[in-house]
Copies of this chain bind each other. A is one copy, B any other.
Amino acid sequence: MPVFITLEGTEGVGKSTALTYIQGYLAQHQVPFVTTREPGGTPLAEKIRTLLLTKDAEPMSSTAELLLMFAARAQHLAQVIQPALASGQWVLCDRFTDATYAYQGGGRGLRQADIGLLETLVQGELRPTLTLWLDAPVELGLSRAAARQQLDRFEQEKAVFFDKVRAVYQQRAEAEPKRYRRIDASLSIEEVQDQIHAVLARFLSVRTL
């Protein structure tokens, strides 16, 4: 059965480091997998990503932002995710639709019901099998992200925006405890990796029973 793992979290929680760790873990356990990201993952979807992340003189309508996210997702699903899952590979994706609920729903205040309509339109029944949510206090993440050279259009948002984003991740984690695993990302890299290791080890052992 195909496995679709997604990694979620706000800015500066250490997603890249966690992604590399998960890739190493899956490779070590001979799991065939592809790593990808959203928005993006195909040449066209990456062009849409550039539109989404570039801060421009023209303010972007929140609804346009939402639809661009799902346009990129539809292309990504058709070109990468669905073919990989159909061929038996696992898919490891840096952000997916939970991020849309959190950023466009929570952060921008768009209606969760509208996001749900688009989710069904674009994904049908497909949902992630397992979601690792890297969670840390917003201020901690932002102070880490601020150390980077250039902030994109989302990273330039203020703490109040990310508070709302985090609150939606929290709600979704509580609503779907079987799929969501909260990782405390305020700890050291080693402690974060220990938590991820525990989740993956348990996930793999249950699947191979």
Residue positions of A touching B, CB distance < 8 A: 42-45, 47-48, 51, 56-58, 60-61, 63-64, 67-68, 70-72, 74-75, 77-79, 114, 117-118, 121-122
Contact = CB atoms under 8 A, between A and B. Distances in A.
Contacts of A114: 121
B56 A78 contact: no
Contacts of A43: 56-58
A121 to B, nearest CB: 6
A67 B68 CA distance: 7
Contacts of A77: 61
A73 to B, nearest CB: 8
Nearest to A77: B61
Contact of A71 (B58, B64, B78): B64
Contacts of A117: 117, 121
29 contacts: A42-B58, A43-B56, A43-B57, A43-B58, A44-B51, A44-B64, A45-B64, A47-B51, A48-B51, A58-B75, A61-B74, A61-B78, A61-B79, A63-B78, A63-B121, A63-B122, A64-B71, A64-B72, A64-B75, A64-B78, A67-B67, A67-B68, A67-B70, A67-B74, A67-B118, A67-B122, A68-B68, A68-B71, A117-B121
Contacts of A42: 58
Most buried by B among A43, A57, A63, A64: A64
A141 to B, nearest CB: 28
* List of 4 A-B pairs having minimum Cβ-Cβ separation, nearest first: A67-B71, A61-B78, A63-B74, A64-B74
Contacts of A60: 44, 75
A87 to B, nearest CB: 18
